Amino acid sequence: MKKIFSEFLKGIFKENPTFVLALGLCPTLAVSVSLANGVGMGIAATFVLLGSNIIIALIKNFIPDRVRIPCYIVVIATFVTITELTMKAYSPALNRALGIYVPLIVVNCIVLGRAEAYASKNSVVDSLFDGLGMGAGFILALLLISGIREFLGAGKLFNHTVFKGFEPAFVLGMPSGALLVIGLLLGFFNILKNRKL
């Protein structure tokens, strides 16, 4: 039980996919314009991560070593397609907002990275919690980045105006703002890490 819990927690702090492992940055930066988009992307990626981790942990003994990467990609692409179709059916607005970044979850390094580095070597239950933890870490990172960008770039949180008379810095809503925020956050986490040691 304790091990399972630590599997879950390590994805959030010690091996946070975005800030520590620096994986899957493309969708993180592209969709973090608003909190709603960020959360939508986070949940979609978590679902794919969870599904592919479970399936790959189940079939890891049947996959020949030399063709493992294509096999993983097929499993991941299947879950991405499920996500894409579900999102199109139930939340077309979110699907439009995320655009090409939904099919691009296939090449999100977090998913393939966890399949290769974790699910292919560990049991189903462990992989399930690893997927959940990584997904939670990804969602938290997206919340942080998109929160900063939406608040400073549009003066809103979840599309509600927070302050009246606050002049937003539009640049944070633009691509260059995303790069700036992630650069400064990575620097900030570096300082925290160095202080602890």
Binding-site ranges for other proteins (CB under 8 A): 22-23, 25-27, 29-30, 69-70, 73-74, 77-78, 80-81, 84-85, 100, 103-104, 106-109, 112, 171, 174-180, 182-184, 186-188, 190-191, 194
SS3 content of the chain, % helix, strand, coil (to 5): 75, 0, 20
Residue 71 Cβ, how far from other proteins at the closest point, in Å? Answer: 11
In the complex with other proteins, the residue whose CB is nearer, 107 or 144, is 107
Minimum separation from the CB atom of position 102 to other proteins (A):
9
SS3 173: helix
Nearer to other proteins, 45 or 128 (CB): 45
Q: Which is nearer to other proteins, 69 or 162 (CB)?
A: 69
> Smallest distance from the beta carbon of 34 to other proteins, in angstroms?
16
Measured CA to CA, the distance from residue 4 to residue 52 in angstroms comes to: 18
Would you state the structure tokens that stand for residue 51, as one six-digit string? Answer: 């599904």
The distance of closest approach from Cβ of residue 60 to other proteins in the complex, given in angstroms and rounded to an integer, is 19
Rounded-to-integer distance, Cα 172 and Cα 153, Å = 5
Token look-up 């077309």 returns 92
Around Cβ 10, how many Cβ atoms within 10 Å?
17
